[in-house]
């Protein structure tokens, strides 16, 4: 592999991560189109949607592990919510990732477009007031949480992203923010 190609991919990852942090959205939402469009601009072979999905999935895996470690040390994790939504999103992600093998690049890009559109919409929805409830006293609708996590998991599995995370989506729509461990 060409060293310039590696440097370009590193730059895409760094800039994409920086932008996603500044915008407050998932990194894959930003990096997915960058990985598809930027390499050909520099004379390198274009990556396929399937390859970009794989790269995104690998990235999300390590970002998630580091995030869980950090939030666990801070006492910000609601184990009940993580269990309910985690299992559902895991099953959905497996279905989406294996199902994506049957999809064309155009279909994968359409799923990405839908997830990116949801992320943009959620950026403009005002955040709800943060309730000051201890994590062990938080209540939420378990079937609804599991259902949304499963659906979002399928989409995320197809594009290899946690971009529109199920917790963010459900947070904006139905649940109070303290269910996710947000503290002041």
Question: Can you list the alpha helix ranges (DSSP code H) found in 25-104?
Answer: 27-41, 49-73, 79-99
Query: What would the pLDDT profile of 113-137 be if each residue is shown by its tens digit?
Result: 998 888 888 878 887 776 677 777 7
Query: What would the pLDDT profile of 51-101 be if each residue is shown by its tens digit?
Result: 998 888 888 888 888 888 888 887 778 888 889 999 999 999 999 989 988
Question: What is the Cα–Cα distance from 80 to 84, expressed in whole angstroms?
Answer: 6
């Amino acid at each position: 592999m060409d060293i310039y190609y590696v440097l370009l991919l590193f730059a895409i990852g760094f800039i994409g991560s920086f932008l996603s942090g500044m915008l407050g959205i998932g990194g894959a939402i930003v990096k997915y189109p960058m990985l598809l469009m930027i390499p050909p601009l520099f004379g390198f072979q274009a990556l396929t949607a399937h390859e970009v999905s794989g790269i995104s999935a690998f990235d999300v895996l390590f970002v998630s592990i580091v995030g869980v470690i950090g939030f666990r040390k801070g006492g910000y994790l609601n184990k009940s919510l993580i269990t309910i939504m985690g299992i559902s999103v895991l099953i959905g992600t497996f279905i989406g990732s294996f199902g994506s093998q049957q999809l064309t690049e155009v279909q994968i890009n359409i799923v990405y477009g839908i997830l990116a559109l949801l992320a943009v919409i959620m950026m403009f929805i005002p955040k709800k007031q943060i309730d000051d409830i201890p994590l062990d006293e938080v209540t939420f609708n378990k079937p609804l949480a599991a259902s949304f996590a499963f659906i979002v998991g399928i989409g995320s599995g197809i594009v290899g992203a946690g971009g529109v995370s199920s917790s963010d989506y459900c947070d904006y729509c139905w649940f109070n923010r303290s269910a996710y461990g947000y503290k002041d």
